[in-house]
Structure 1
């Protein structure tokens, strides 16, 4: 027998068979306990752990089917093999449905029993590995998936552990891109509701009438187009977690409905009269200052106090600069694996710029910048040439308006200089020939040991990229604006790595 030694409980009222089979099993290194009826079997199961149960269906006046069901519920890790001298096709079906792995007919051949035990133990091992994998995935979806060394984030982790199992609402606030959805998922995964659904709704993406139907569901005929009944998100998240993102965009009418369901956990479907009750944990998020919205009359005070039981404030990425190398490393390896690129990381000068930049789009923007750098790079080590203009400081960041006052929109690392753009006659292209009075400064050390062609590749790539974005990747319009023919443009795009269709997606996401 090739199976690893296992702990086996043999349940049969045939004493001669029990003695013979138990000796045979022990010869293969298995640990065997025996029982002659269901009561003895239950005692053995309660006393010690077993890997395998060999069970006769007829035990005097006892029915072995009862024990199969009990073992399936109380000891799901135990593999059950049924032995019977009165097998019919229907008996086999009923045994499998009750939870048995296999059914063998007496008299059982040694080779047949050996194979069944091996298969049963192998199936049990696979089930245990699957369970460990599910637990691992749960962990990855929890706090362990939030990369940080920042003390403020570590304090937030402590709060999450404290409130994970509370039914009270949690309000997560922070700028766009700080990871509010990830924190909501982490709370769900740390709670006893982790096996139930996590349902997410972006409140700002739906008009008020559709949002009500999305949250509470509707009955057939409730409005034009309601051809069938629809179950709402509150019901789908019953005994699980409902995450309401962008809650600050909810209209006054919707705020009233939300207040009721958060107080009583009861609601009616749109067009319906039947009151439904749910046990749903609600987590909400916003990038707005809700206290200011309350003062301005845009948000109900009673709803604000209802949802603000626990408030988790996520710091912006510029406030946790020490996490940027850690996040870059994670995003870089993920992007390199997805795109099939061989990339090691950013050099010191590029990392300085990444840490100096204010990141108005926070972690989401950083991820897009890293993915862009991986797609554009021709070398294993990423440099300043692989960063977008707004990070290097060569153009104004289109997201700079989102920054708080006092944060500059363009930051250059000391000693690297910056290149300010002016508008030339070519319709918005950088005027590289502008004089010193325009603020143009180049760092000669960045061109050391490079040929003229190599030194010009960076600016040429950025000029073409800027124009492609300006004309929404229309290559004909781009070629006309650059005063070159389309064939030349295509060749330059291929040489500079700008012909990858994934690059357009990554850049569009970043801007």
Structure 2
């Protein structure tokens, strides 16, 4: 089994059969997957496939009989350093995590139980990181080509980054509520001001942070991101500020923190509202003094970093409640931008769906002819509590399940077909009837919701809907005309 340029190879190593099968099912549509129940079996796979570059990522359980995951990946690092190494474990031992980062060059430490979507995205990022690493090596070899060639290639890469991460790359419709946000963001991007991004999870805060970075004088310098809610406090401190060898048990070598890695560029701190007060004090010191002191170091290191922070929390309320430091809040919130949720941006949805559908077609190698009118009506009616992240999953799912070029409504998940989020009063197909208004108007709203839900289930087959509702076809048509539902086909 050989990989192709479009499909990377992943080796899964775990002695638990059900765990291996779960990971294989999660990844097999996107990657060539090999499995092994032990380090010895994994070595056999690598002997056959690694030297040709077919294995690009290893997912390995930490605690296995015989050779542990950490020991195995340490050996992999020595012989095949280009393979991206990821540990999966059900144990949150900080010493194991730190040892993995230091000794085996672990790319990421995943805790069980993992979420399929998040694991798939992590492996995609790992493959992309490996590709970028190889690009950097190639560029290093091409330095001998001379400054003119390098200048041209630098501009080409800058243009490509702008096309991929700039403001224009963020999909939206005409007269989008985002335009006002982007107008402010573009104007402040060229100034070295800290920015605080507010908004629900999945609204695109990291995309906006990258766009600000690309529009700034720091665009050619690193953009580094960290989710502050994803790591325990002690590990997050080491990740952000770095540590010196011997600073604590398991610190076998120096570790450069993210502030230093982002030097000259931008550091994006997602979910800053989830940090503890003790860590907030240390962040404030870095922002005030422009220098970072790695754990165990005797001297501070100067850093020049623009910080863009983001949170789904109301930080002003967190400050009032004493859970977030007021002085750090004002350091971060020089400019505050709020991203509206997707349900408040109905005019953006079609543009976002078109972009996601093209992305899905490319990744799944499956052509399409867009969504049908009925399917698009369902997408427009659903409130998307998970915002763009949820919409992306739905579009990918629908295209994968579609048997025709035109993606029909029956490829959508039941909750989206009904146009209602689950666990709400509306899940039964009834609208909210709180508030004022004439009785007939409110009864019409209820009747319209019942008719629309029934028609959606029957894919707008009026004969079946009329039979279920015990109406004549003529009577159903008259109700649809009176309630203005015909146009929603």
Match of 2:169 in 1: 145
- Correspondence for 2:453 among 399, 407, 418: 418
How many residue pairs get aligned? The number is 307
Match of 2:458 in 1: 443
Deviations 1:211-232 (A, max 9, x none): 1101110011111110111111
Q: Quick one: structure 1 residues 414 and 225, their matched pair in 2 at CA, closer, same or farther if it must change by over 3 Å? A: same
Match of 1:296 in 2: 321
Match of 1:232 in 2: 257
Counterparts of 2:329 and 2:315 in 1: how far apart (Å)?
A: 7
Higher relative contact order (CA 8 A, sep 6+): 2
Conserved 8 A contact 1:352-1:413: no
Structure 2 residue 304 is the aligned partner of structure 1 residue 285: no
Q: Quick one: structure 1 residues 396 and 334, their matched pair in 2 at CA, closer, same or farther if it must change by over 3 Å? A: closer
Larger of the two Rg values belongs to structure: 1
Three-state SS of the structure 2 residue aligned to 1:344 is coil
C-alpha displacement at 1:441, in angstroms? Answer: 9.0
Counterparts of 2:143 and 2:346 in 1: how far apart (Å)?
A: 57
Q: How does 1:256-271 map to 2 (within 5 A)?
A: 256-271=281-296
- Correspondence for 1:223 among 216, 226, 248: 248
Q: Quick one: structure 1 residues 400 and 138, their matched pair in 2 at CA, closer, same or farther if it must change by over 3 Å? A: farther
Q: CA RMSD in A?
A: 3.3
Deviations 1:460-484 (A, max 9, x none): xxxxxxxxxxxxxxxxxxxxxxxxx
Q: Name the TM-score, length of structure 2 as normaliser.
A: 0.57
Structure 2 residue 363 is the aligned partner of structure 1 residue 338: yes
Please, which moves more after superposition, 256-265 or 370-379?
A: 256-265
Counterparts of 2:194 and 2:299 in 1: how far apart (Å)?
A: 25
Counterparts of 1:170 and 1:160 in 2: how far apart (Å)?
A: 9
Match of 1:274 in 2: 299
Q: How does 1:92-241 map to 2 (within 5 A)?
A: 128=152, 131-149=155-173, 150-241=175-266
Conserved 8 A contact 2:203-2:388: yes
Q: Quick one: structure 1 residues 154 and 199, their matched pair in 2 at CA, closer, same or farther if it must change by over 3 Å? A: same
Conserved 8 A contact 2:202-2:388: yes
Match of 1:433 in 2: none
Conserved 8 A contact 1:161-1:190: yes
Three-state SS of the structure 1 residue aligned to 2:453 is coil
Gaps of 5+ in 1: 1-95, 102-122, 420-439, 450-511
Gaps of 5+ in 2: 1-140, 434-445, 465-489
Q: Which runs of 4+ in 1 moved over 6 A?
A: 96-101, 123-127, 398-401
Q: Quick one: structure 1 residues 311 and 130, their matched pair in 2 at CA, closer, same or farther if it must change by over 3 Å? A: closer
